[in-house]
Amino acid sequence: MKSILRTLAFLALAISLVLPLSLHAADKYPLSEGTIKKIDAAGQRIMLAHGPIENLFMPPMTMMFKVKDAALLKQVKEGDKVLFRVEEEKNGDYVVVSIKAAKK
């Protein structure tokens, strides 16, 4: 019984050391590219026609995303080509956490 408990404690320690590394895995992927189709400031959402979102393994498409911070919407306008980062929340929603106009 003690050996089982020791093994479980060791596994818990190993997982706690590795988990923080996996949380930053999205940082190794480049920002995604897209074009703003619509901004819903009141709903704190943005519609993007985007290329592949590599950190989420998502193919190109057009979709509406939540925005983590409403201030992000003030930095861009409809029609802008942008570079952005989307992350998946624990509840499964996709949220734009950063966005900036692409350099022309």
57: left (phi over 0), alpha (psi -120 to 50) or beta: left
> What is the pLDDT, as a whole number, of residue 21?
44
pTM: 0.72
Closest CA to 36 of 102, 92, 89: 102
Q: Which pLDDT band, with edges at 50, 70 and 90, does 55 fall under?
A: very high
Q: Domains of the chain: which residue ranges?
A: 29-101
For residue 79, the 8-state DSSP code is T
Residue in the structure block whose two tokens are 């818990």: 12
User: 29-101 belongs to which homologous superfamily?
Assistant: Copper binding periplasmic protein CusF (2.40.50.320)
Cβ within 8 Å of residue 83, ≥6 positions away: 31, 32, 33, 99, 100, 101, 102
Sign of CA dihedral 69, 70, 72, 78: positive
> What is the pLDDT, as a whole number, of residue 3?
76
**Share above pLDDT 70 across residues of the chain, in percent, rounded to a whole number:** 77
CA–CA separation, 55 and 69 (whole Å): 20
CA–CA separation, 86 and 52 (whole Å): 11
Determine the average pLDDT of the residues in 31-52.
96
